[in-house]
Structure 1
Amino acid sequence: MRTLYFDCFSGISGDMVIGALIDAGADPLQMEEELKKLNLNEEYTLSWGKVVKNGISSTKFDVILTSKSEQPHEHSHSHGHKHSHNGDHSHSHEHEHSHNDEHNHSHALHNHHGSRTYKQIVEAINEANLNESVTNMSIAIFKKIGEAEGHIHGLPLDKVHFHEVGAVDSIIDIIGAAILIEQLGIESVQSSAIPTGSGHIHIDHGIYPVPAPATLEILKGVPIASNAIRSELATPTGAAIAAVLAEKFGSLPAMTVESIGYGAGTKTFENHPNVLRIIIGEIQ
């Protein structure tokens, strides 16, 4: 069985997942074409390229928002900027999108209040005519986040507005990850325990402890690993991808390894490579 293992020794975020999948051999250009079905392409461009994190060559993936998109809130963790922690700018590729279809697109995801509802996001995914498994994966991940946000704020799922997680970058991260996982022919997913980090973060509602309440809610039932790093290591998007897709949490299973990918996070830590490692192989 073709299995993907998330080795989350430095946590997990949506952009790290996509970076690691590209690094393991997935085709980002095919993902980019599929994402155009959402009719959001006038709101972003995508960028990916090699960086070195504490001696590990890895792939950094970014969603760069255009002036037409709503700017993400502070809690949109690692996106929307060009990062060059190690001077490895020369390998980065940016792909401009054509805007000539912008007059016939669905308006499900277009609003101007800085937030999108769970219902709007699900409608847009269903209207996009994506592969069935991509549609199902994406909706399940959004539902996991929506239920957690609803629980924290005391709202039913249909009333949940995605301020932080509904920003364009997270929509791209979740659906993009589903597209690449399907593309790679993954039949099962496993994961290590998830380190959440420690300290505090600034989000819409003020200063919150790490892990943020929504992240912790998403990780109910998932083993959390202790980690001394004072930073947010698991984002709501990354936590939901692991929580929804992984059938089992634990150490690396016995497998014949076929490919390995390293996805770079935005932050750089002094003594710790901030990357997500994925290992893909066959389990007998």
Structure 2
Amino acid sequence: MKTLYLDPISGISGDMMLGLLVDLGVELSAIESELCKLPVSGYALEARREARRGITGCRVHVTIDEHHHHRTWAGIDRMLADSALPEAARELARRIFRRVGEAEAKVHGVPLETVHFHEVGAVDSIVDIVGAAVGLTLLGVEQVVCGPLPMSQGTVLCAHGAIPLPAPATLEILKGLPIIDGQCDKELVTPTGAAIAAEIAEFGPLPAMTLETVGYGVGGRDLPDRPNLLRGLLGETTENGEIDRVVVLETHLDDTTPEVLGFLMERLLAAGAFDVGYSPLQMKKNRPGLRVTVVAPPPLADRLARLLLRESSAIGVRRYETERLKLRRDSATVATELGEAAVKLIYEGEKLLRVSAEYASCRALAEASGRPLPEVYRLVERAAEAFFPV
């Protein structure tokens, strides 16, 4: 499986992602050709070789002559939906913008449809997001894996004035995903970069692969303590990319209340655990108890183990790293009589095995329509099976 591993040495932004894709072999002219299908003007793209701390990569510079042009999420989404972009790139760009829009809506306390974009809605960011979606499609990547993203400290100026780093929208986008302390007072991960990574990538260690190409996307700043680069490793993964590594955390409890257990599961999942499960067992002194099992990305093992110790009565946690055989997943939306719904596509290699409706999307449709949730599930899955025949 053709796999791209993103190594966020100094974070990720939209222009760094564009530069990386060009450095990996995507022709900038091919990206520009697709961007011309959008009713957006007043910009120019230039790819040039630049070095950061002695390492050379590609920087894609977006020059714009349009300023302070605010756009709503609904307007951007409608523009993309009506465009002649290739379907895969068009839908990926829409999902990335939706992530940013939902984060902005949460931060500012407004409905998604009324969100006004400032920096993210400007021409350069539209170019970054759509260009990244087009570039990934042209590169033919089947799987993207990303390392944990480095978070900054301090403040950054935006349309609303000085805001703390990481930007509030960035943190909303990265909920449930692994982050680390970047030990930097400059913005390393922008909302646009965070949304691209969150939408296209699984987060985890470098997978076993036959390495083919290495590329570098160059950031605008020349940082004093690190090369301001987004590195990409492109290659073929073994076992069709279906095996990765996870950490399993376990502990036994016999004196924790159901209320605490419910809260514990919520905290562990919010902190980035892939899965949390409770199973009954008989413990010493004939006490009924339970086993807590947490499956997580290896970089989060320490954080989740300490969270488990703090939030429960456990005084010890067992941990081990193991392989995980998994099926490839993709996301899509389908139209139903109740509105659009998100579905999950499950693949074995290139074969589509099944399509399943996403709970959150079905629940929203059930609440809006007054229909029973099981009926909504059936409605969505029938629509999905017609659109994606197994």
Q: TM-score range by the shorter chain?
A: 0.7 to 0.9
- Cα RMSD after superposing both structures: 1.0
- 1:7-34 deviation line (CA, Å, top 9, x unaligned): 0020000000000110111111111011
TM-score (structure 1 length as normaliser):
0.82
Residue aligning to 1:16:
16
Question: Where does residue 6 of structure 1 map in the other structure?
Answer: 6
1:197-238 deviations in whole A, cap 9, x for unaligned?
211111222221110101111111110011211111000000
Residues 1-284 of structure 1: pairs in structure 2 closer than 5 A: 1-41=1-41, 43-66=42-65, 69-71=66-68, 114-246=69-201, 248-284=202-238
Equivalent pairs: percent with the same residue? Answer: 46
CA distance in 1, matches of 2:9, 2:153: 14
How big is the shift at 1:70?
2.2
Question: What are structure 1's unaligned runs of at least 5 residues?
Answer: 72-113
C-alpha distance in 2, partners of 1:202/1:256? 42
Letter in 2 for 1:144: R
Greater strand share, 1 or 2? 2
Residues 12-60 of structure 1: CA deviation (Å, up to 9, x unaligned): 000000001101111111110110000223x111111101111000111
- Distance in 2 between residues matched to 1:45 and 1:204, nearest whole Å: 23
Matched position secondary structure for 2:36: helix
Separation in 1, partners of 2:211, 2:153: 32
Matched residues in 1 for 2:208 and 2:180: separation? 21
Structure number with higher helix proportion: 2
Q: CA deviation at 1:280?
A: 1.0
2:218 aligned partner, one-letter code = A
Letter in 2 for 1:215: T
CA distances 1:186-207 after superposition (whole Å, capped 9, x unpaired): 1111100000221111122222
SS in structure 2 opposite 1:189?
strand
Alignment-mate amino acid for residue 47 of structure 2: W
Match of 2:298 in 1: none
What SS does structure 2 have at the residue aligned with 1:122? helix
C-alpha separation in 2, matches of 1:255 and 1:65: 39
**Greater CA deviation, 205-214 or 132-141?**
205-214
Q: Is the 8 Å Cα contact of residues 151 and 183 (structure 2) preserved in structure 1?
A: no
Deviation at 1:185, TM superposition (A): 0.5
Separation in 2, partners of 1:272, 1:170? 25
CA–CA separation in structure 2 for the residues paired with 1:156 and 1:197:
28
Write out per-residue CA displacement over residues 108-156 of structure 1, whole angstroms, 9 at most, x where no aligned residue.
Answer: xxxxxx2101111111112221111101110000000000000001111
Give TM-score scaled by structure 2 length: 0.60
For 1:58, the aligned partner's letter is G
The range that moved more, 176-185 or 205-214, is 205-214
List, as ranges, runs of 4+ consecutive aligned residues in structure 1 with deviation greater than 2 Å.
none
Higher relative contact order (CA 8 A, sep 6+): 1
| Post-superposition offset of 1:271 | 2.6
Native 8 Å contact 2:214 2:231 kept in 1: yes
Q: Give the stretch that moved more between structures: 249-258 or 210-219.
A: 249-258
List runs of 5+ in structure 2 lacking aligned partners.
239-390
Q: What is the distance in 2 between the residues matched to 1:133 and 1:7?
A: 24
In structure 2, the residue corresponding to 1:149 is in which secondary structure? helix
Query: For 1:37, what is the secondary structure of its paired residue?
Result: coil
- State the alpha-carbon separation in 1 of the partners of residues 106 and 30 from structure 2: 36
Aligned residues: 238
